Structure 1
């Protein structure tokens, strides 16, 4: 048992140290996804140490594990109801409540009917799909009668995006910030009660041994979106499969550069991937919003066959409530320079993607 305990303790140290090294290679970036699991494993290993009889100085190890637990817990507690945040009531000057669904459908998932049934069940005002190709577009055509406003980017490389809305779309465009095969969408909308807002949908490539070797394109794409968003004067929501976690360095830079708020703080992790493995589920489908957008509910919905759980959000817009201003953080001069450098590195990176991808 002592050997198992020692191996676990050493692995936990490695998984704690690697993400602190600001290198773009996936070896350093992937471990930060598992901060929740690492924290649980630290606690389990600490409990295991209480039952070990050995002549080794185990209390040194136990003390070190306790320090690691506090280190990770200090970050994670912000994304739980234990972290105090102000609750906001909807007032008569605000917009009507709106709700949407964001879903990475997984291009090779053939459970089209399950997804359409989910949309019909929750009846969102608008919804976005990622990894949606020509087959998915065809499968979603029956929904178009109810959602007459659309913006479609149909691709076969697992980066297609489709947006459907009952709320009027005033204008829409597709951005290709760092690569000509990785789209982001910008949709300007106006509600029936006269409130205008902007919806951004993003889905950058992940750093992983099977996809991109580094996080350069991901981070460059996200920070390009952040720079675009910060100059928009309307209420803004940015949603999508970020292939990133909220506590990573690049996510913090995104939040500060865009001047947006992370609604998970004081709420919950809202973990989405992998949908089939609860113990290995990471919160990588993120959302950020401007200070005049107020979140009523943010949660995952049931699995419809994808490797991601869909995200459901209910919100309202209130231009007269300034209670969220204090939640907005802005980047320092050094952080702005860092963001610019990351964007340039992302544009220079040549991702190895095919125009058509087949499932292995």
Structure 2
């Protein structure tokens, strides 16, 4: 039993130390994902160590202290996404309906044929904007029924798991589909006009994940997030970025995105809202995201029921409150962050100028 405990302790330590490296290999970056699971394993392991090992031996306390440090390190990353942490974005339930903006983000899973489930959710929740990821021509045909109530659209049906569609009840201006880093991975960029006439700059993203079957490294995903972050970070417009970022909320890359963009995460202090994987409750992570500028406060954010995909939809309702939103503090980038971001974008030969910047003319 002692040998088994030593082996498991070594695995926990290795999994904790690996993502400290900035190496982009998918195995290294993949260890950003299971921090909650690793924290639970570390906590259980500490109990096992305390109840099984010989407390009179110095190495026992060395192992217990080491595991405890691993637990603390994992909790440092994930605690902001629990209700134990102060909220980053203020709540607001009193704003006028004309100053509200609701967004439903849904990775539909291309081979999924339960389109009626998504249509039912759209009819039930009545989002102002719907963005679908992994939607191909079949999905476009199935969702055509939404256009009676959501006539403003952006369509990019693809068969490579990176198709994307946007449907909106509100007017869309300066619509543009761009391929920011990879030639077959689209993104969408537009201005959404609120009933008040205010314009909100929106970016819809779905970069490819680091994985053995797609990109062996995270450099492409990271570069796309960084150039979008730098682009919106230079703007004082109301901004929303949403989509399946193929990264967890607490990863080094997503934190870097937040630092460079200045955007806020409404999940901080409210919960993880794990959207993937639907079928494996013990292996779920927050892969679908919504970030916004300080012009907004939060009315609600929730994970919706399954639509037959491997992702749950994410539904967010924001209030456009530029004055009340002041004083909401996010993360700030230091020189090391900026230098690291530059090295990533240079490796992919991309810059923030590649990002469409819809703006008031």
Same fold (TM over 0.5): yes
Under a length normalisation based on structure 2, what TM-score does the superposition of the two structures give?
0.91
Q: CA deviation at 1:93?
A: 7.8
Q: Deviations over 1:219-264 (max 9, x none)?
A: 0111111122223332111111111122222212211111111222
Q: Is the 8 A contact 2:276 2:311 kept in 1?
A: yes
Inter-partner Cα distance in structure 1 for 2:171 and 2:52: 64
Q: Is the 8 A contact 1:292 1:324 kept in 2?
A: no
Q: Is the 8 A contact 1:93 1:318 kept in 2?
A: no
Question: What are the within-5 Å matches in structure 2 for residues 73-152 of structure 1?
Answer: 73-85=75-87, 87-90=90-93, 95-152=98-155
Structure 2 portions without partners, runs of 5+: 351-361
Aligned to 1:69: 71
The one of 232, 235, 245 equivalent to 1:232 is: 235
Secondary structure, counterpart of 1:314 in structure 2: strand
What is the aligned residue count? 347
Aligned to 1:156: 159
Q: CA deviation at 1:285?
A: 1.3
Aligned to 1:13: 13
Q: CA deviation at 1:90?
A: 4.9
Q: Does 1:178 align with 2:178?
A: no
Q: Deviations over 1:17-52 (max 9, x none)?
A: 110011011111001111111111111111222331
Q: CA deviation at 1:95?
A: 5.0
Aligned to 1:272: 275
The one of 343, 346, 349 equivalent to 1:344 is: 346
Inter-partner Cα distance in structure 1 for 2:325 and 2:118: 37
Q: Is the 8 A contact 1:107 1:133 kept in 2?
A: yes
Inter-partner Cα distance in structure 1 for 2:16 and 2:109: 30
Secondary structure, counterpart of 2:269 in structure 1: coil
Aligned to 1:250: 253
Task: Flag the 1:195–1:209 CA change in 2: closer, same or farther, 3 A.
Answer: same
Aligned to 2:60: 58
Q: CA deviation at 1:94?
A: 8.9
Aligned to 1:314: 317
Q: Does 1:221 align with 2:206?
A: no
Q: Is the 8 A contact 1:94 1:317 kept in 2?
A: no
